[in-house]
């Protein structure tokens, strides 16, 4: 058995040094492989009582990006309004250890997680059945290990309760949680995370909770920091600097595998991006299998593309890595389809020259380098001109773009 799970982090190849605000790359494509993280548990993992309903997840993803880790959440559930843009998780309000165990065969293999963040047991603490919880947790963990044989498990102690009787049960349970994580046969794959001591609960209130058992925003922020430290200590060191843009893999809860494309002008379609009429393409239908979706940069009046804002450091170079291919999805020759696929688009950072990309029929990896002059920089992907035709300029789907990773270069 391997001492720890591993995952592949790929640094995009490029064609050599590029001038500031210039384009490089267009080389044979190697898709990035984000670290796949499954938040697994009950209503505390769902994020009940948090502003925005994302609990610790959104802040955790921001932490990982700032540390340079390309990560994405996986799971069968989705929060469509998660600001950082990755809506997936695996949790059910009110669920017990044994009920969640029954769902694992359906959830875990399909998600292919690299790491599982487990916080479970609160709903087993309310009555005399709390004494059975450690045995149920042992079965739960062993089931996880069998279903995800190459994944690591971060097993957290349960956060405290304001109710003294429940807190006594939780304290007893948490001592066993550590023992289960450290039992022979699990070491090197299961790691205990001391979540309980990070949050403060008091019968009088004025603490990190919003009710008897659920965190408030301050408590969820503390949980995010604990998960961040536990993951950062075990993930491979990033090969470059912080990821500056939210939602680099264009995650959205608005698409299903049955949809070939959907007009992406709904305000929340791609959280973290301002989108002006782009088409949203489900990843599998766009030929992607790394958890990403894609946008089609439509050539039509009033559709200027898709924009995000980067928190930049003046003078510190930024490299934007992205993938593109010609847009041939779901359109005939009269709409920029297979006979005349949309190929050109531009990428531009504030105050720097536009760089024109001519996409090929297959996915290719490109880079765009620039040096910011301000603390915030707008990054835009916009369609190229429509194709000429006898009746005027042809409009329709343009090139596909995905996996946009803007990184501050390592000093």
CATH number at residue 389: 2.60.120.260
Same-domain pairing of 198 and 328: no
- Given a cut of 90, is residue 343 above it in pLDDT? no
Is residue 366 a part of any domain in this protein?
yes
- Given a cut of 50, is residue 81 above it in pLDDT? yes
Is residue 4 a part of any domain in this protein?
no
Is residue 29 a part of any domain in this protein?
no
Is residue 401 a part of any domain in this protein?
yes
**Phi, psi at residue 100, to the nearest 5°?**
-70, -35
Residues composing the chain: 411
Is residue 20 a part of any domain in this protein?
no
pTM over 0.85: yes
CA angle 191, 102, 118 (to 5 degrees): 25
Same-domain pairing of 208 and 281: no
**Segments of 224-333 assigned E as strands:** 262-263, 274-276, 279-281, 294-296, 305-311, 318-325
**Phi, psi at residue 115, to the nearest 5°?**
-140, 140
Is residue 6 a part of any domain in this protein?
no
Are 375 and 40 in contact by the 8 Å Cβ rule? The answer is no
Is residue 14 a part of any domain in this protein?
no
What digits encode the pLDDT tens for the residues 386-408?
544 444 444 566 899 999 999 99
Q: What is the CATH number of the domain that holds 98?
A: 3.40.50.1110
Same-domain pairing of 157 and 286: no
Same-domain pairing of 41 and 177: yes
> 10 Å Cβ neighbour count for 221?
17
- Given a cut of 70, is residue 345 above it in pLDDT? yes
Backbone CA torsion sign across 347, 355, 242, 155: positive
What span, in angstroms and rounded, lies between the C-alpha atoms of 174 and 165?
15
Same-domain pairing of 207 and 157: yes
Residue 258 has what pLDDT? 72
Mean pLDDT of 7-29: 51
Same-domain pairing of 281 and 221: no
Give the structural domain span for 149.
Answer: 34-232
Work out how many domains the chain is built from and give that number. 2
Query: Is residue 382 within a helix (H) or strand (E), and if so which, with residue range?
Result: strand 376-383
Same-domain pairing of 228 and 267: no
What would you measure as the largest C-alpha separation in the chain, in angstroms?
Answer: 79
The bridge status of strand 274-276 relative to strand 305-311 is antiparallel
Same-domain pairing of 402 and 323: yes
What span, in angstroms and rounded, lies between the C-alpha atoms of 320 and 334?
33
Same-domain pairing of 192 and 274: no
Is residue 16 a part of any domain in this protein?
no
Q: pLDDT category, 265, cuts 50, 70, 90?
A: low
Q: pLDDT category, 56, cuts 50, 70, 90?
A: very high
Are 364 and 25 in contact by the 8 Å Cβ rule? The answer is yes
Same-domain pairing of 273 and 217: no
Same-domain pairing of 285 and 194: no
Same-domain pairing of 201 and 349: no
Residue 335 has what pLDDT? 40
- What is the DSSP-derived secondary structure letter of residue 256? -
What b/e string do you get for 249-275 counting C-beta neighbours within 10 Å, with b at 16 or more? bbbbbbbeeeeebbebeeeebbbbbeb
Mean pLDDT of 316-334: 77
How far is residue 355 from each of residues 76, 120, 311, 331, measured CA to CA in Å? 38, 49, 21, 26
Spatial strand order in the sheet of 344-349: 274-276, 305-311, 376-383, 344-349, 355-358
């Amino acid at each position: 058995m391997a001492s720890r799970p591993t995952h592949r982090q790929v640094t995009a190849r490029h064609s050599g040094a590029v001038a500031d605000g210039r384009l490089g790359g267009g080389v044979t494509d190697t898709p990035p492989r984000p670290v796949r993280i499954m938040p697994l548990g009950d209503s505390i993992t769902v994020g009940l009582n948090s502003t925005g309903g994302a609990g610790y997840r959104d802040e955790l993803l921001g932490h990982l990006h700032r540390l340079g880790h390309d990560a994405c959440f996986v799971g069968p559930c989705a929060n469509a309004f998660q600001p950082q843009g990755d809506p997936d998780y695996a949790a059910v309000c009110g669920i017990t250890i044994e009920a969640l165990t029954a769902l694992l065969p359906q959830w875990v293999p399909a998600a292919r997680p690299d790491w599982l963040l487990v916080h479970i047991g609160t709903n087993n603490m309310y009555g005399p059945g709390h004494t059975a919880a450690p045995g149920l947790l042992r079965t739960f963990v062993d089931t996880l290990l069998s279903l995800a044989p190459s994944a690591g498990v971060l097993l957290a102690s349960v956060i405290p309760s304001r109710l003294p009787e429940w807190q006594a049960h939780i304290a007893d349970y948490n001592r066993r949680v550590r023992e289960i994580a450290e039992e022979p046969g699990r070491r090197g794959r299961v790691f205990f995370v001391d979540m309980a001591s990070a949050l403060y609960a008091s019968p009088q209130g004025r603490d990190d909770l919003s009710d008897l058992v659920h965190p408030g925003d301050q408590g969820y922020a503390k949980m995010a920091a604990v998960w961040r430290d536990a993951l950062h200590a075990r993930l491979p060191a990033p090969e470059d600097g912080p990821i500056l843009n939210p939602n680099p893999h264009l995650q959205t809860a608005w698409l299903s595998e049955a949809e070939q494309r959907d007009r992406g002008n709904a305000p929340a379609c791609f959280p973290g991006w301002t989108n002006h009429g782009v088409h949203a393409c489900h990843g599998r239908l766009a030929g992607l299998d790394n958890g990403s979706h894609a946008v089609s940069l439509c050539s039509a009046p009033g559709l200027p593309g898709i924009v995000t804002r980067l928190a930049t450091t003046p003078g510190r170079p930024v490299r934007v890595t992205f993938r593109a291919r010609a847009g041939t999805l779901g359109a005939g020759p009269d709409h920029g389809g297979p006979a005349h696929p949309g190929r050109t688009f531009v990428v531009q950072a504030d105050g720097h020259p536009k760089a024109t990309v001519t996409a090929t029929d297959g996915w290719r990896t490109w880079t765009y380098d620039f040096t910011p002059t301000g603390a915030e920089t707008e990054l835009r992907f916009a369609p190229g001109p429509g194709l000429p035709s006898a009746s005027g300029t042809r409009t329709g789907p343009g090139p596909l773009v995905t996996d946009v990773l803007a990184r501050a270069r390592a000093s």
